[in-house]
Copies of this chain bind each other. A is one copy, B any other.
Amino acid sequence: MNIREIAKKAGVSVATVSRVLNHPDAVAKNTKDKIEKIIAEEEYTPNWFARSLNFNRTGSIGLMIPHILNPVYMEMAKGVEDVAYQKGYITFMCNAENDREKEKAYLAQMIRRRVDGIVMISSTLEKEDYDRVKEKNIPVVLVGGNKSNPGFSCVRIDCEAAAKEATKHMIDIGYRKVAMFCSKTDTFDNRDKIVGYREAFKEAGVKIREEYIKRIDDTVEDGYLAAKKMVEKKGGPHAIFATSDNMAFGVMDAVKDQGLRIPEDVAVIGFDNIKLSNLVEPKLSTVDVPLHKMGVYGARLLLDIIEDGNSETRDIILQTKLKIRKSCGHKERIGEMF
């Protein structure tokens, strides 16, 4: 059923039918009612491509996420989807699966499919990859720590400050041997986390042990393995700062498997504050990141560009908050520990 058939049934021209759909006020009431009745009867919906072809707009946005099974990204993704849905856009979910080639392939797809804009979550693409998108004039917003800064608007957190605060907390309690596990992925966020960690030690005047800084995959498994290796030796760390809750879960598992207690023998602190961090035993201390909000802001920024042409580049930094739970000690316990 196409617009011509509807027009024929109604005994009018296609132009009139099209007007009913797009500019109802420009059509006489009688005619409009008649046409609308037929449209409803036939359950006619205008062909989306044909419309897109005219409008040069698809009403869809691309959403690139590093991994679909990681709750951190999914919470951000939900923020994006919430806003997009509410504004009538549909979201192409692109699961890059931590694979740069797949991410590039999906980006090319987005361009081919003429999405109205793209939200990139924690992307690892290079400047050159973005240049393609720029040439095509497709608006892009970055959420979370990208690798290079290609001059797009960005929503993020201050990872350096957050990591510094968390590390400082551990030092303040009295821990001196604090290991840090950070994702291998080369993004600003990860680099900043390490900078913050170092900064905290520097300010406290405590010497850093380089062998305590480990770059690993951001997975439960790698957290487990790295922690196990570190903890099973004598004289291991007093505390482990895993810069994602995901890794922290693995760390906790490894520590427990070694027959050590958390936090009495080894304290653990995470990063992200995903729902589960409050569910494991003991409850995980972590850095609260406003994941959902980051997605929401990212999508809003994008739709601002798409709909209002508001192309000024903005850099939005949201607040993090240190959440102290059971898995690391409290300040009051200084002295009783070492």
Binding site for B on A (CB under 8 A): 43, 45, 47-50, 52-53, 58, 63, 68-69, 71, 74-75, 77-78, 81, 85, 90-95, 102, 106, 109, 111-114, 132, 135, 220, 249, 253, 256, 275-276, 279-281
Contacts and interface: CB of A to CB of B under 8 A. Distances in A.
A74 B68 contact: yes
Given A74-B68, A112-B48, A281 B279 contact: no
B75 A275 contact: no
Give the copy number.
2
Given A69-B71, A109-B90, A49 B45 contact: no
Nearest to A250: B279
Contacts of A75: 69
Given A69-B71, A71-B71, A249-B276, 15 more contacts: A43-B132, A48-B49, A49-B50, A49-B58, A53-B53, A68-B74, A68-B77, A68-B81, A69-B74, A69-B75, A69-B78, A74-B74, A85-B102, A85-B106, A92-B92
7 shortest A-B CB distances, which residue pairs? A93-B93, A49-B49, A49-B52, A281-B281, A49-B53, A48-B113, A45-B112
Residues of A contacting B: mostly: helix
A48 B92 CA distance: 15
Contacts of A91: 92-93
A249 B279 contact: yes
A287 B242 CA distance: 31
Contacts of A114: 47-49
B92 A90 contact: yes
Nearest to A108: B45
A274 to B, nearest CB: 10
22 contacts: A43-B135, A45-B112, A47-B114, A48-B49, A49-B50, A49-B52, A49-B53, A49-B58, A50-B53, A53-B53, A69-B78, A69-B275, A71-B71, A78-B95, A90-B94, A90-B109, A91-B92, A92-B92, A220-B279, A253-B279, A276-B276, A280-B280
